Structure 1
Amino acid sequence: MSDEESYELLGFDNVLLPVGDLGEALAFYERAGFTLGFRFDEAGIAQLKVGGETPGILLRAELALGHRPPPWHSPHIWLEVPDARAAARELADAGITPLDEVFQEATGWTVEIADPWGNVIGFTDYTKRRELGRRG
């Protein structure tokens, strides 16, 4: 492959998650602390912001998709937060039940939730290895 034909991975654009109902999905994710970037009902999509980055989580309505109870065999998307244990408390206060208890990783703590369609989102921190986190 010549240099003109090669490509370079520059970073994430958006992560797409299928949902059965866009309005219900947005209500769930807003309770989980996400901010709406944009909503385009004609296309059945909405984007959730993730921090100050331009890419986000793109929700796409799949009308035939019904609710799926966790654990569903799907990718897990983990997002960095300052304190996963605090995130778990705030999620519980918003009525969102974690899949399991907050658990330890080599870098810190993590808590995972699933939306009504079985998409798994994790909130992880770098409290054990702060130098690896975004706020180093």
Structure 2
Amino acid sequence: MSEKESYELLGFDNVIFPVGDLGEAVRFYEWAGFAVAFRFDDGGIAMLKVGGETPGILLRVEEGFGYRPPVWLSPRVWLEVPDARVAARQLADAGIGPLDEPFDTATGRVVEVADPWGNVLGFTDYSKRPELGRRT
């Protein structure tokens, strides 16, 4: 690539989460409200839908990957929801407790949860800056 050439970032493709057991991971994420786009057990993968977008969260089995608590400095994936407090209540009703109480950001609120393998998902709203959020 020459100095004058560049590439353009077009958007996200998929976010890949390592898991230790595909069936257990799919059940966890279905409890969390995700729909499964496809599942390929022989390949050790399942794709979860995120809204109406084509990219999603790809669960991939990693042999020997056991349960682990989330590491504070680990990457996090935040997904937009209409109301983070409602998401927190619905997740709790499904048996998925938050890592901490929902907290405020400059644009709204966030609640974070972790799957059994320490992958962290945040559910965030744009209640303070609705003009920046998706139209629902």
Give the alignment's TM-score, normalised by structure 1: 0.94
Cα distance in structure 1, aligned partners of 2:11 and 2:71: 28
- In structure 2, the residue matched to 1:41 is 41
Offset at 1:69?
1.7
Q: Secondary structure at the match of 2:79?
A: strand
1:24-75 superposed Cα distances (whole Å, 9 cap, x missing partner): 0000000000000100111110000000000000000002100002345421
Q: Quick check: 1:80 aligned with 2:80?
A: yes
Offset at 1:121?
0.2
Aligned positions of 1:1-136 closer than 5 A? 1=2, 6-71=6-71, 73-135=73-135
Cα distance in structure 1, aligned partners of 2:71 and 2:86: 23
Cα distance in structure 1, aligned partners of 2:13 and 2:93: 31
Cα distance in structure 1, aligned partners of 2:110 and 2:72: 18
1:66-96 superposed Cα distances (whole Å, 9 cap, x missing partner): 0002345421000000000000000000010
**C-alpha contact (below 8 Å) 1:72/1:118 kept by paired residues:** no
Over aligned residue pairs, what C-alpha RMSD do you find?
A: 1.5
Identity %: 73
Letter of the 2:39 partner, please give it: R
Stretches of structure 1 lacking an aligned partner (at least 5 in a row): none
Cα distance in structure 1, aligned partners of 2:54 and 2:3: 31
Letter of the 1:130 partner, please give it: P
Give the alignment's TM-score, normalised by structure 2: 0.94
Cα distance in structure 2, aligned partners of 1:73 and 1:12: 22
Q: How many residues align?
A: 135
Cα distance in structure 2, aligned partners of 1:66 and 1:32: 20
Offset at 1:2?
6.7
